Amino acid sequence: MALVKMKELLLQAKEENRAVGAFSVGNLEMVKGAVKAAEDLNTPVILQIAEVRLPHSPLALMGPMMVEAAKKSSVPIAVHLDHGKSLEVLSQALAYGFTSIMMDGSTLPFEENIEMTLQAVDLAKKYGATVEAELGLVGGSEDGKTDEGIRCTNPQDAKVFLERTGVDALAVAIGNAHGNYPVAPRLAFDVLEAIDKITSVPLVLHGGTGITPEDFRKAISLGIRKINIATASFDSLTREAINYLDREGKHDYFGLNEAMVKGVYDNVTQHIRIFNCAEPL
Ligand code: 13P
């Protein structure tokens, strides 16, 4: 059984000076591609799904599949509810066996964010699950439908927030954003360094798609232990499906299924190699 708590993976990554990839999944092919990549590279990963994706990929179907895939995997895998907005959905995820939840109160005023996060901490306690929160504003949104702008995390606020909530991981805003960046982002590493100095809590980098390998490595050297990748996997899956259909000859579902799995596998493999920090870039 390889379903593990996310906190364990993040603390192990800290000891080994690397980060754990948190790969968003939306269907069977994505789960298969991500797990196969993790197994082939013998590296623990996090499988995650965001609350905004649930109308398209229902939790009642995705949840048991993700948990079962983790249990059957030959490497440790944590299953995480990304960008939770409601306690109801967080409770459902925990009941399905998710070992980690994120309460995203980043758009709320500071005190309300703390209040919502404390409720999530309370909920997760019953399951021994890990809790991630967000302070400051990461740009865009998981499904690209809203964008409240970018607001870098204030390091002093982060200190107070972490002391009062006791969360296990903190998503920081350092100029990163969800989705494909229109131009390469310039991450505020000075802000990240200041946050890393005031806490030993593992830090999380959202909006991984489009960040350069060099910037990933620098962020890892400054305390980032979990890196979220969504859009790059969706895009890679779509590209492989198009390539498959463009190829000469007959096509069928099974060939298409394999192409989609390969698309995700390739993207996840490439990111795990960067996050492991074992090979030069
Ligand atoms: P990207 O879609 O930019 O990779 O961001 C993923 C993410 O942060 C999920 O929470």
pLDDT tens, position by position, 65-120:
999 999 999 999 999 999 999 999 999 999 999 999 999 999 999 999 999 999 99
Name which residue sits closest to atom 9 of ligand 1, judged by CA. 228
| Claim: this prediction has a pTM higher than 0.75 | yes
Reply yes or no on whether 82 is catalytic.
yes
Residue at 281 is within a domain? no
Residues in the chain, overall count: 281
**1 within some domain:** no
Domain count, the chain: 1
**HEC readout, 69-109:** HHHHCCCCEEEEEEEECCHHHHHHHHHHCCCEEEECCCCCC
- Exactly one of 40, 82, 122, 235 is catalytic; name it: 82
SS3 string, 126-149, reads CCCCEEEEEECECECCCCCCCCCC
Instruction: List the structure tokens of 56.
Output: 């398209």
Mutate which of 46, 142, 226 to test ligand 1's pocket (most atoms within 8 Å of Cβ)?
Answer: 142
Domain span including residue 127: 6-275
Residue ranges lining ligand 1, Cβ < 6 Å: 24, 50, 82-83, 142, 178-179, 206-209, 228-232
- The per-residue pLDDT for range 22-62, each reduced to its tens digit, is 999 999 999 999 999 999 999 999 999 999 999 999 999 99
135: domain CATH number is: 3.20.20.70
Please measure the distance between the N-terminal and C-terminal CA atoms of the chain and give it in whole angstroms: 33
φ, ψ of residue 243 in degrees (nearest 5): -60, -45
CA distance 234 to 239: 9
Ligand 1 atom closest to the CA of 179, numbered from 1 = 3
